[in-house]
Structure 1
Amino acid sequence: MHFKQIHHVAIICSDYERSKHFYVELLGLTVIQETYRAERDSYKLDLRIGDTDQEIELFSFPNPPLRVNQPEARGLRHLAFVITNMDETVEALTHKGITVEPVRIDPITGNRYTFFADPDGLPLELVEVIEC
């Protein structure tokens, strides 16, 4: 058995149009397909991350329960995106009205990183990886 990469990450949002705007218009992810599932009163939006085959599946459901908002709670802790220029990315997000935490240095890898949140408070991380 050999796992090659993550295929997708699924996110359930509380306000579909607000989250769609955030991920598509503000973060610039590409829409692959949008599906309305009448039997579930639910949207499923497939989004491509950059020039990869990796995807985010954005779901809406009527009245989803709140996310446990403790950083060290069990389950998915955060979703991290690789970027190549931290300063430009932070500036672009800030210009779009997105609050970004101060940039830090990972003491183990030496990479610069920071966090911001989606409209439902899901922590999203930026990790600067300089290509050689």
Structure 2
Amino acid sequence: MFKQIHHIAITCKSLEKLKEFYIKLGFKLQKSYQDDEVIIAHLNLKGTLIELFEFNGSIKSIRVKRWDIKLKEPGLVHFALAVDDIKAAKQWVNDQLSVSTTEVTYGRTGINYFFMHDPEGNAIEVVECN
């Protein structure tokens, strides 16, 4: 029934700043939309989409069939990006991005990983999958 994660949505203070950050990580701008209330950008990395929202005005939530979806409230625990070589990825992040990272750790689930934050503080885990 379910095939894969379609997208991850992040409400941001500066869509342009986050868009530039994720493009540096290899995401491509797939589509964008703008009106008086919101700017939306879809970024694609080999089939994984990040949907960025930047709201103007006072919209706090959107009603979707009895569910109160709070798109304007920031929040995300983390998401993970897969790499083949964790050490090379960490070196690239240190060289190319202005962010700090944790040390590479061997996790309880048997994978090597490290964490970093995007410019608005959203946590990104980088995991070695080879």
Shorter-chain TM range is 0.7 to 0.9
* TM-score, scaled relative to structure 1: 0.79
Deviations 1:70-100 (A, max 9, x none): xxxxxx4211111111111111111122211
1:34 alignment partner in structure 2 = 32
1: distance between equivalents of 2:93 and 2:52?
20
| Residue number in structure 2 paired with 1:73 | none
Alignment-derived partner of residue 21 in structure 2? 22
Amino-acid identity (%): 30
Q: Distance in 2 between matches of 1:17 and 1:55?
A: 16
Structure 1 segments unaligned to the other structure (5+ residues): 68-75
Alignment of 1:1-132 (within 5 A): 2-24=1-23, 26-38=24-36, 40=37, 42-49=38-45, 51=46, 53-62=47-56, 64-65=72-73, 67=75, 76-96=76-96, 97-108=98-109, 110-130=110-130
Instruction: Report how far residue 37 of structure 1 moved.
Output: 2.1
- Specify every segment of 5 or more residues in structure 2 that has no aligned partner in the other structure, as ranges: 58-71
TM-score (norm. length: structure 2): 0.80
Structure 1 residue 103, shift from structure 2 partner = 0.6
CA distance in 2, matches of 1:18, 1:11: 13
8 Å CA contact 2:11–2:73 kept in 1: the answer is no
How many aligned residue pairs are there?
Answer: 115
**Which amino acid in 2 is paired with 1:101?**
T
Give the Cα–Cα distance (whole angstroms) in 2 for the partners of residues 28 and 82 of structure 1: 12
Q: State the alpha-carbon separation in 1 of the partners of residues 11 and 103 from structure 2.
A: 27
Answer 1 or 2: which has greater strand percent.
2
Task: Please tell me the root mean square deviation across aligned C-alpha atoms, in Å.
Answer: 1.6
1:70 aligns with: none
**Cα distance change on mapping 1:8 and 1:101 into 2, 3 Å:** same
